[in-house]
Structure 1
């Protein structure tokens, strides 16, 4: 049995991780932690870089800067997963870590489908209905399109 746990560093995702660890130990699940680096953050930086190029005449190419930023973000995401693994006791749990780049809900769903996960345990930040309407929710999309059950853990879980 396989358990997918998306991690973004939020309190909700840490609560989801704790619950996932309980489930993994009790039912002998293997666990994969995944962090998604969002590309849209880097592209917006690139647009700003192009603007500054027009202002100061710098010769820095936005494409090269974007690649460097993406590399740094992926490195930080991997470091975050390493820190989490060091801080929690994963003894007795078959554990994998993965950092991917893209849109979080799409990447999580793709991994769940391709690797035939049995359960996804993820945090839910508890956005208001209005904010969720305008921005969407990664958790909502995963719940509605996942090929397996999804356990959504709220950030205020005690």
Structure 2
């Protein structure tokens, strides 16, 4: 049923719960797990004034993202799941949608914080944007589920 499952991670509790679910699904369907971490261009200082010391920030954020995908791949490997990893820099929901299309993902598994009301309106939701625009089915997982 599933050959390629994309799971984006940012190291949060919901992302970890999504990774656990994605590993279970990959085991069940003998699928490849594609693990993605996106360095948000806003966090990377791409939108900061020229005088800001952003190179160090970019390296630090990219290093953290690489560690996240490496740790996730290790967890999947312990379960006997094939993995591919990728770190990109950009707008998270755009990068996730691009990665899903590029990989031909049969499923995207994402964590969600489950925010509602004003918090959701002000903060926005990467997961919600992916759910609305992704061609592949998107499974959302809350931490603790």
TM-score (norm 2): 0.88
Secondary structure of 1:127's aligned partner: coil
Larger radius of gyration: 1
Report the equivalent of 1:147. 135
Say whether residues 1:133 and 2:135 are aligned partners: no
- 1:24-46 superposed Cα distances (whole Å, 9 cap, x missing partner): 01111100110111111233884
Report the equivalent of 2:105. 117
Higher helix share: 1
Report the equivalent of 2:7. 5
Query: Residue 45 of structure 1 contacts residue 66 of structure 1 at CA under 8 Å; is this kept in 2?
Result: no
Secondary structure of 1:153's aligned partner: strand
Matches of 1:13 and 1:89 in 2, distance apart?
17
Say whether residues 1:102 and 2:90 are aligned partners: yes
Cα RMSD for the two superposed structures: 1.9
Task: Write out the 4+ residue segments of structure 1 that deviate beyond 4 Å after TM superposition.
Answer: none
Query: Residue 126 of structure 1 contacts residue 155 of structure 1 at CA under 8 Å; is this kept in 2?
Result: no
Say whether residues 1:32 and 2:38 are aligned partners: no
Shift of residue 11, structure 1, vs aligned partner:
0.7
Report the equivalent of 2:22. 20
Matches of 2:29 and 2:20 in 1, distance apart?
14
Shift of residue 154, structure 1, vs aligned partner:
0.8
Secondary structure of 1:139's aligned partner: helix
Shift of residue 87, structure 1, vs aligned partner:
4.8
Secondary structure of 2:65's aligned partner: helix
Say whether residues 1:83 and 2:91 are aligned partners: no
TM-score (norm 1): 0.82
Query: Residue 23 of structure 2 contacts residue 76 of structure 2 at CA under 8 Å; is this kept in 1?
Result: no
User: What are the residue-to-residue correspondences of 1:52-91 with 2, within 5 Å?
Assistant: 61-62=51-52, 65-87=53-75, 89-91=77-79
Secondary structure of 1:130's aligned partner: helix
